[in-house]
Amino acid sequence: MNEELLNILRSVVANATPLVIASLGETITERAGVVNLSLDGSIILSAMVGFVAALASNSPLVGILVAMLAGMIIALIIAVADIELKQDQIAIGFILTLLATDLATFAGQDYTRIPGPQILTTPLPVLKDVPVIGPIFFNQSILTYISYLLVFGVWFWLFRTRPGLAHRSVGERPETAFARGAKVNRLRYIYTAAGGALVGLAGAAYSLSVKPGWATPPNMQGDGWIALAIVIFGGWHPFRVVLGAYLFAGLRALSSAIQRSPDIQIPIVLLNAVPWLLMIFTLLLVSSGGIDRLVRVLPRPVQKWTRNFLRSDPPAALGTRFEPD
């Protein structure tokens, strides 16, 4: 396989890493029935504090931990507001999106465009020499390896373990889960915090690896919304979520490759529309009406398969409050 293509695919995987981590975090949270809408702001703020902490301590690890803490705190504000104070989680999440972005811009104003510590690429011995797969997947940073583990870890947790079953049931049928002895709200706290920590990790993956450093306006702005859409496209299933993130990063790479090609006369600025058109298109595709329309024009043998593949049902109790009486 040619070298250049391998390089492009390698960078697609690298660039998709924060999206993978953030959308897995949100999957964990939403599977417990809570929406953390603050992703775009959370990622930006944790990217900033992660970068500054890594710079001050000269240790990327400290940066990562601080970023995760920031993501977790924001998520916990949403959980407390929802569970204890009965405030709308969408409203709080939206406020936090704006607030976290402004907070990052203000508090990070002295740290823009300065070099700082980065997480370097660490090729994995043996695995890196596997043809094709090695150079694409195993010549990456440690955060990307963590993202692989997370994908399988989250899948295994949700679908193969007993606490994972309770986790899902809290998001699907909290009353039933409660009757069976699950501590619904406590579990929601735990999974909202865990999801938020991963969102924070995604922020660190930007500022310490994918888009190193800090700038205003933040150069990862918008990706939080993309991650939220990927969770829907992914049908709240870790494997499909990851597929969505890679597809998305791939198409983005493709559009910037088109941008560089001299034969195609498209104004460069219009290519910035691609991610957003893609977002609307994918959400249309997995909406129930969209699937129906698509299935109608397909040949019969693949109809059922397509429907099952594209079906994307949210956790039944997503965004609702649970009040034990």
Partner 1 sequence: MKNRSTALQITLTILPIIVSLVITAVLIMAVGSDPRAVFEKVWEGAFRDERSISQVINFWIPLTLVSMGLTVTFTAGLWNIGVEGQMMLGAVFASWVALYTTLDPILLVPLEVLMAMAGGMLWALLVGVLKTRMGVHEIFGGVALNALANVFSIYLITGPWQPPEGGSIQATPPFPEGALLPPLSDSFRVSLLALVIVGLAIVGVVLALRGTRWGLQLKATGKNPRSALLLGVPTERSSLTAFMVCGGLAGIAGSYRVLFTYGSLRPLVSGGIGFLGLLVVLLIATRALWAPFVAFAFAAILGGSTRLKIALQLDASLAGVLQGFLVLTVLLSNGLRQRLNRGRAAEPSAPTPAEALATEVAHHE
The region of 8-16, 154-162, 279-287, 300-308 touching partner 1 under the rule CB under 8 A is 279-287
Q: Is 46 in the site for partner 1 (CB under 8 A)?
A: no
What's the burial of 200, exposed, middle or buried (CB within 10 Å: 0-12/13-18/19+)?
A: buried
Tokens 């510590």 belong to 117
SS3 for 123?
strand
Q: Does the CA dihedral 185-29-93-147 come out positive or negative?
A: positive
What does the per-residue mask of binding to partner 1 show for 78-97, with x meaning CB under 8 A?
A: ---x--xxxx--xxx-xxx-
Helix (H) or strand (E) holding 249: helix 238-260
DSSP 130: S
Closest approach, Cβ 310 to partner 1, in A, equals: 12
| List 5, 130, 133, 280, residue binding partner 1 (CB under 8 A) | 280
| Ranges within 50-79 binding partner 1 (CB under 8 A) | 77
- Given 105, 139, 185, 207, the residue binding partner 1 (CB under 8 A): 105
Shortest distance in whole angstroms from residue 238 CB to partner 1: 21
Work out whether 325 is an interface residue with partner 1 (CB under 8 A). no
Asked if 78 and 38 count as a contact pair (C-beta separation under 8 A), the reply is yes
Q: Is residue 42 within 8 Å of residue 71, measured between CB atoms?
A: yes
Report the residue from 1, 5, 107, 132 that binds partner 1 according to the rule CB under 8 A: 107
CB 31 within 8 A of CB 161: no
Residue 61 or 271: the one with the smaller Cβ distance to partner 1 is 271
Contact residue for partner 1 among 283, 294, 295, 321 (CB under 8 A): 283
Question: What pairs with residue 155 in β-bridges?
Answer: none
- Binding of partner 1 by 245 (CB under 8 A): no
Q: 217: cis peptide before it, omega within 30°?
A: yes
How many other C-beta atoms can be found within 10 angstroms of the C-beta atom of residue 103?
Answer: 18
User: Site residues (CB under 8 A) for partner 1?
Assistant: 37, 77, 81, 84-87, 90-92, 94-96, 98-99, 101-103, 105-107, 109-110, 216, 222, 225, 228-229, 232, 267, 269-270, 272-273, 275-277, 279-280, 283-284, 287-290
